[in-house]
Amino acid sequence: MQEVISAIKKSGVPFTPNTPLHTYTTWKIGGPFDLVVLPRSVEEISACTRIFNSAGIPSMIIGKGSNMLVSDEGFHGAVLRLSGAFDTVSFRDDGVIAGAGFSLITLSLQAVEYGFTGLEFAGGIPGTVGGAVCMNAGAHGSDISQTLSRVLIMNETGGLKTLEAKDLIFGYRNSVIQHKPWVLLEATFSLLQGDRNAIVERTKLFKEKRMRTQPLKQPSCGSVFRNPLPLFAAEVIESCGLKSIGGAKFSEIHSNFIVNTGEATAKDVLALIELAEERAKQEHSVTLVREVQFVGFNERVL
C-alpha cells in the first residue's frame, strides 16, 4: 500500500491514508479504509484506477455513505470520493446537469428555487446524485427514473459513454449500473417549470412528513429493506416485535430504519438485519430484500 500511496502522491490527487470510515457513513459505523482519494476530474479517476489495478488493490466509490454498512474491521483497499468537477450543478431551460458527487438534497432544493418541478420528492433523501441514480432512489411515490434523461459514465476500459435513461433498465431501487464496473460521472434531468409557490408548498409538506415519520435525529442509513410490495417492510418488521441488539435498534418512529443509539457496531446491525429476515420468513413467509450495501464483510452477508 505504501507504493500505491507514493504513486497517488505523485499523481497530485488529494488523498488521506488510514481513514476511519465511521466519519464517512450516516450510520457513524465502520472501521478504517487503507486509503481515501478525492479525484476531481476524469483524468484523475483514470490515473487512480490505473494505479490500483497495477497494484492489485481493490477499490470502490462512495458518496455520502447513506446506504452503506462498513464492517468493524474496515475495508482493506482504496476508496474514491468524487469531488471537484463532479460536485457541481448547471441549470438549463429544460432541466439540470449534476455531477455524480453533488448532494441530492441540495439539487432538489435548488430546483425548487429555479421553479422546476419533478425533484421535490428527493428533498429529504441523503446521498449523492450518483448513488441516487444507481439505486433509483425514491420517495412519496416518485423516483429518479421519472425525471432522469441521460447519464455520462466511464466504462471498464476508461472510455466515456452517454447512456439514455432507458438504457439503465430501472427497477424498484435498482438499475443496471449496480451490476456494471462503471463510474457514473454526471446525470441530466428533464424538468418542467411550474408554479413556484405550489412547488415550495409541496416540498414543505414532504419535509414535514419526513420529520414526523423518520428518525432524522439519530444516525441511520435510511431504509434497510426494500418494501416487499404490496406490503411495507416497516409493517412486517413491526409485527415481528423486533427491538434491539447491542447499540443497534429498530426505530420506534419507522421500523424499517435501524438507528445507532450511540455505541452500535457493524456486528450489531448485521445481527439485527439477519434476525429481521429470519423472523419475517418464519412468521409471515415474507422475504426481506436489503437495500444496504455491505463493505468489508465476507461473502456470508451478501
Pairing between β-strand 258-260 and β-strand 248-250 as defined by DSSP bridges: antiparallel
Per the annotation, the verdict on 173 as an active-site residue is: yes
Report how far residue 191's alpha carbon sits from residue 147's, in angstroms, rounded to the nearest whole number: 7
Contacts by 15-19, CB closer than 8 A, 24 or more apart: 19/79
In a 13 Å sphere around the CA of 292, the CA atoms on its Cβ side amount to 27
Nine cell digits for residue 100: 455524480
Catalytic residue among 220, 223, 251, 255: 223
Nine cell digits for residue 91: 441549470
Q: What does each C-alpha distance from 152 to 6, 50, 110, 240, 273 come to in angstroms?
A: 30, 20, 21, 43, 34
Catalytic residue among 59, 120, 173, 186: 173
Pairing between β-strand 138-139 and β-strand 142-143 as defined by DSSP bridges: antiparallel
Per the annotation, the verdict on 291 as an active-site residue is: yes
Report how far residue 93's alpha carbon sits from residue 190's, in angstroms, rounded to the nearest whole number: 9
Q: Could you identify the residue written with the cell 466519519? A: 23
Q: Could you identify the residue written with the cell 428533464? A: 190
117 three-class SS: strand
H or E element: which one contains 143?
A: strand 142-143
Cis peptide preceding 215, ω within 30 of 0: no
Rg (CA), the chain: 20
290 burial (CB, 10 Å; 0-12 / 13-18 / 19+) is middle
Q: Could you identify the residue written with the cell 452500535? A: 264
DSSP assignments along 198-209, one per residue: HHHHHHHHHHHH
Query: Which residues are tagged catalytic?
Result: 173, 223, 291
